[in-house]
Amino acid sequence: AQSVTQLGSHVSVSEGALVLLRCNYSSSVPPYLFWYVQYPNQGLQLLLKYTTGATLVKGINGFEAEFKKSETSFHLTKPSAHMSDAAEYFCAVSLTGGGNKLTFGTGTQLKVEL
């Protein structure tokens, strides 16, 4: 079984500031990890994913995330926030081996202020 926790349901940053969205997971076996973004009244779009290999993963729109096994974390970062980054972000986890459930966190709403 697996689970994912996103710390902070709402995060607010200034434009140009660092974005840090936190995600911790629990998993009995090596996980696959995902970050999705959702703009209002739209579906989810994949930002990035970790399956195997390099633990620092780069995604679209300047986002990246680092898989830290020792900390069971997969935090999402972006060096400089832009107004267009305002959206809801979901972390998700599944187990390696295929055929397994993808479990989503409850989401973090990112607000970007001038």
Q: Pick out residues in 71-90 that bind other proteins (CB under 8 A).
A: 90
Nearest to 76 by CA among 1, 23, 15: 23
Binding range to other proteins, per CB under 8 A, among 17-25, 35-43, 59-67, 78-86: 35-43
Binding mask 39-68 for other proteins (x = CB under 8 A): --xxxxxx--x-------------------
Sign of CA dihedral 93, 75, 85, 57: negative
* 3, 100 contact by CB (below 8 A): no
The two structure tokens encoding residue 8:
């902070």
Q: Site residues (CB under 8 A) for other proteins?
A: 9, 32, 34, 36, 41-46, 49, 90, 94-95, 97-102, 104-107
